[in-house]
């Protein structure tokens, strides 16, 4: 399925990209994260399962077990620090 | 009507209070919280601050928090203003105002909203210090505050 990936804050800066289109076989957010971490050392450094990464599907915060849907907007970002 | 505004420009908390009160004679209590850009953070002087957010998700997530507050507390109206962009120390960042018949529900709802917003609203602070700039790390104490309301900080 096709996804739009979006990155924010330190992850956006680290990957030097704010969004990209991505074709995936992954079924869940965690599977997608593992797949992206395997792309290269930079993705691994920012998205590896050891990092405190938060995720959202179609602009709603979601856990790793959440199922992906075709054409979804998937976001990766560090724990939020507003307020 | 509740108010949720995500904006770059500054605001005055008393204007938000007046707007929510709107001469409603049933209101007996107003509780407000104003979050301000500090000059010091984790022992370092902060020259200025940049707040990034996730347009669209920011407003939707805060509207969801307002709905959740309504389902938990007996309150009249809620107003939330959260800014993004550049800040100097002493600038207002976030304002939350709750009106209700009695104070206890207003106090609780205001604290709930801030505790929820701290762990779920997609904003990120970057500080400029004399040693360079750095992204602010999330605090465990904020996660703990959210968990007291049954909020999972991770999803």
Give the predicted TM-score (pTM) of the model.
0.95
Query: Of the candidates A6, A60, A83, which has its C-beta nearest B118's C-beta?
Result: A83
The predicted pLDDT at position A38 comes to: 96
Residue B23's pLDDT band, with cuts at 50, 70 and 90, is confident
Quick one: how far is CA A67 from the chain centroid? Answer: 13
Residue B27's pLDDT band, with cuts at 50, 70 and 90, is very high
Tens-of-pLDDT digits for all 83 residues of chain A?
999 999 999 999 999 999 999 999 999 999 999 999 999 999 999 999 999 999 999 999 999 999 999 999 999 999 999 99
The CA distance from A24 to the nearest CA of chain B, in Å, is 22
> Is any Cβ of chain A less than 8 angstroms from the Cβ of B122?
yes
**Phi, psi values for residue B37, rounded to 5°:** -70, 125
Q: What is the pLDDT of residues B120-129, one digit of tens each?
A: 999 999 999 9
Bigger pLDDT: B5 vs B23: B5
Query: Of the candidates B60, B93, B124, which has its C-beta nearest A80's C-beta?
Result: B124
Check residue B82 and report its DSSP letter. E
The CA distance from B25 to the nearest CA of chain A, in Å, is 31
**Phi, psi values for residue B101, rounded to 5°:** -70, -40
> Is any Cβ of chain A less than 8 angstroms from the Cβ of B83?
no
In contact, A2 and A72? CB cutoff 8 Å: no
The predicted pLDDT at position B42 comes to: 83
Reduced to 3 states, what is the DSSP secondary structure of residue B30? strand
Nearest CA to B109 out of B70, B148, B141, B145 is that of B70
Nearest CA to B105 out of B71, B134, B133 is that of B71
Q: Which residues of A touch B94 (CB under 8 A)?
A: 82-83
Residue of B nearest to A57 (CA): B57
- ipTM here: 0.94
């Amino acid at each position: 399925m096709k996804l739009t990936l979006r990155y924010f804050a330190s992850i956006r800066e680290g990957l030097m990209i704010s969004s990209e289109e991505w074709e995936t076989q992954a079924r869940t957010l965690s599977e997608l994260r593992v797949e992206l971490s395997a792309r290269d050392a930079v993705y691994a450094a920012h998205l590896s399962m050891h990092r405190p990464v938060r995720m959202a599907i179609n602009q709603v915060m979601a856990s790793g077990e959440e199922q992906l849907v075709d054409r979804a907007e998937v976001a990766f970002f560090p724990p939020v620090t507003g307020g | 009507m509740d108010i949720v505004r995500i904006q770059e420009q500054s605001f005055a908390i008393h204007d938000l209070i007046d707007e929510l009160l709107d001469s409603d004679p049933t209101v007996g209590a107003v509780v407000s919280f104003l979050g301000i850009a500090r000059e010091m953070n984790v022992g370092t002087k902060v020259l200025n601050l940049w707040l990034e957010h996730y347009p669209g998700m920011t407003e939707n997530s805060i509207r969801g928090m307002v709905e959740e507050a309504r389902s938990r507390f007996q309150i009249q109206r809620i107003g939330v203003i959260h800014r993004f962009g550049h800040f100097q120390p002493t600038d207002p960042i976030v304002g939350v105002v709750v009106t209700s018949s009695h104070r206890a529900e207003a106090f609780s709802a205001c604290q709930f909203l801030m505790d929820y917003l701290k762990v779920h609203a997609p904003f990120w602070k970057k500080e400029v210090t004399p040693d360079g700039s750095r992204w602010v790390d999330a605090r465990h104490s904020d996660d703990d505050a959210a968990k007291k309301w049954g909020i999972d900080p991770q999803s």
